[in-house]
């Protein structure tokens, strides 16, 4: 009874029906001690969203080569900006559930080969144009055009036709059934853009339907924005302004939040968690999700076109040492697949790729390779990437493999090194389904296949299995298909998935949020500007 009474009083307080003093009196009358009543009042009020203030986000990502073309967004900074200025047909909520966003509802037909999305009515772009089915169709056609360089092109390869049924209904026809299609259309690259005569007006335009309107965009430096007064979501977008600041250097990022120059930072170095946790004004914010740190070997470039060399390196890495020394326990060892226990159909019987000097030496001898192997890295890839590369080189040396670490510039790393150099450090935020993860980074039709694992018997079979699993309705058969896909990828592919890393952030204590926080990406699904507020 007391709990129900206090909940009612708390609701009245947040709705303004009673003030703080009246709430405290009611709590004391219900049997709470004065200190407990004071604390409860403070917590209730802090959990009530308030409008106002300027949010300053310090990010470990950003490059002078960044653009506003959502299709080419490469990292957490451009993703966060896209989410702030635009929206997708669906989204992953802060509770980790797929929900409609620019759509009101969606349903499948024809064995999930047809997907029907009913759009929200009256949603406006920042330029005042009302969003219609034409804008949705033009956006998807922009990404799936045969000359498109969009990272979402591979995700949308299964679409055979898109048509509208009036201004507020879009119908997608797929080449095969795909139960995960509503997840795919939530991808951050597929921000719905305004169109004219069936074509996107300007893919580099800042205009979207999102919570914040971009005022200035300085790639690799900062982006400033103001709240959209016509945002369609009630109870969201509480800040008056939002500023995204690139702080590639780990120490600079840490100092910025400690000194109050920013309100929030991502990618806290595990080595500084204890230090930041002792700052009275700061809160450490950590979530466990699908983020993993990788070292992709491009199999179309020597010496990684040699299967035995790839296997030698996979067995030459002390993965738990990476977790212990780089993550300081804030994560777990990887096993060369971008899938973990949180995903359906995870293969629990894969061989364990851990440091094995005998197997590493055996494969290295069979490879016939000699000489130095270069590994490109920068802490722009992830906090501690340079140290991780050094640890890999040290363990490989124990089995007679000579690795030379190439320290790459932080600026331009994602444009000039990743997906171009033969072996490099990388991070992936992960995806909530296997099909989405594979379609983003491993299938032969995606721009972001950073291992270039596209040809050969194993890769061909893998791609066939991914397509088959999309439309398979028999759970047992689908499990077999995904288990075999993981086995092929782990064995023959070029991905070294070294660590599954928790998302670690730090923020000022007056920056608050809902009880539930998304873990599909860092920074509450990279939607802090829309979901958080100042107490």
Tell me the mean pLDDT in the region 235-263: 96
pLDDT at res. 43: 64
Distance CA 139, CA 133 (A): 10
* Residue 519 scores a pLDDT above 90: no
Tell me the mean pLDDT in the region 514-524: 88
- Closest C-alpha to 256, from 240, 272, 274: 272
Predicted TM-score (pTM) of the model is: 0.79
Least confident range of 44-48, 395-399, 423-427, 430-434 = 44-48
pLDDT at res. 474: 86
Tens of pLDDT, residue by residue over 180-192, are 899 999 999 999 9
Q: Which residues contact 8 (CB under 8 A, 6 or more apart)?
A: none
CA quadruple 95, 98, 104, 105: dihedral positive or negative?
negative
Beta strands in 229-275 (DSSP E): 241-246, 264-265
Residue 157, token pair as written in the block: 């390869």
Residue 468, token pair as written in the block: 């088959």
332, HSE (Cβ side, Cα atoms, 13 Å): 9
Tens of pLDDT, residue by residue over 154-169, are 889 899 999 999 999 9
**Residue 14's pLDDT band (cuts 50, 70, 90):** low
Please list the helix, strand and coil fractions of the chain in percent, rounded to the nearest 5, in that order: 35, 20, 45
* Residue 494 scores a pLDDT above 70: yes
* Residue 453 scores a pLDDT above 70: yes
The pairing of beta strand 114-119 with beta strand 169-174: antiparallel
User: 479, exposed or middle or buried, with CB in 10 Å at 0-12, 13-18, 19+?
Assistant: middle
């Amino acid at each position: 009874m007391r709990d129900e009474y206090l909940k009612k009083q708390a609701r009245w307080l947040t709705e303004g029906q009673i003030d703080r003093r009246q709430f405290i009196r009611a709590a004391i009358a219900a049997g709470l001690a004065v200190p407990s009543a004071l604390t409860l009042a403070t917590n209730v009020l802090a959990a009530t969203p308030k409008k106002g203030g300027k949010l300053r986000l310090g990010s470990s990502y950003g490059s002078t080569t960044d653009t506003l073309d959502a299709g080419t967004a490469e990292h957490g900074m451009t993703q966060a900006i896209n989410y702030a200025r635009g929206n997708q047909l669906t989204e992953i909520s802060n509770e980790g559930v797929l929900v409609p966003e620019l759509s009101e509802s969606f349903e499948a037909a024809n064995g999930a080969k047809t997907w029907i999305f009913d759009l929200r009515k009256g949603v406006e772009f920042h330029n005042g144009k009302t969003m219609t089915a034409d804008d949705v169709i033009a956006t998807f056609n922009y990404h799936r055009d045969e000359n498109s360089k969009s990272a979402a092109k591979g995700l949308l390869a299964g679409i055979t036709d898109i048509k509208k049924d009036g201004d507020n209904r879009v119908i997608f026809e797929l080449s095969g059934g795909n139960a995960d299609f509503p997840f795919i259309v939530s991808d951050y690259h597929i921000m719905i853009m305004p169109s004219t005569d069936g074509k996107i007006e300007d893919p580099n335009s800042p205009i979207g339907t999102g919570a914040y309107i971009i005022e200035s965009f300085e790639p690799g430096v900062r982006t400033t924005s103001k709240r959209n007064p016509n945002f369609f979501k009630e109870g969201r977008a509480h800040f008056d302004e939002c500023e995204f600041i690139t702080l590639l250097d780990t120490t600079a990022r840490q100092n910025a939040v400690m000194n109050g120059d920013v309100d929030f930072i991502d990618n806290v170095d595990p080595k500084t968690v204890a230090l930041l946790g002792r700052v009275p004004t700061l809160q450490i914010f950590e979530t466990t999700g699908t983020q993993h740190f990788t070292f992709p070997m491009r199999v179309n470039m020597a010496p990684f076109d040699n299967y035995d060399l790839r296997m030698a390196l996979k067995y030459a890495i002390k993965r738990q040492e990476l977790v212990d020394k780089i993550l300081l326990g804030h994560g777990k060892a990887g096993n060369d697949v971008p899938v973990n226990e949180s995903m359906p159909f995870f293969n629990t019987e894969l061989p364990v790729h851990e440091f094995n000097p005998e197997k590493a030496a055996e494969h290295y001898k069979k490879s016939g390779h000699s000489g130095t192997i270069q590994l490109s890295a920068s802490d722009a890839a992830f906090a501690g990437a340079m140290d991780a590369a050094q640890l890999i080189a040290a363990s490989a040396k124990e089995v007679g493999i000579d690795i030379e670490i190439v320290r790459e510039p932080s600026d331009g790393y994602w444009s000039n090194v990743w997906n171009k150099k033969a072996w490099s450090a990388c991070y992936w935020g992960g995806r909530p389904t296997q099909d989405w993860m594979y379609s983003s980074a491993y299938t032969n039709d995606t721009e972001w296949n950073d291992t270039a694992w596209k040809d050969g018997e194993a890769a061909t079979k893998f791609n066939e299995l991914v397509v088959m699993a999309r439309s398979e309705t028999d759970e047992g058969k689908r499990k077999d298909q995904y288990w075999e896909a993981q086995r092929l990828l782990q064995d023959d592919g070029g991905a070294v998935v070294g660590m599954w890393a928790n998302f670690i952030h730090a923020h000022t204590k007056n920056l608050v949020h809902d009880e539930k926080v998304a873990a599909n990406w860092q920074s509450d699904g990279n939607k802090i500007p829309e979901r958080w507020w100042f107490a």
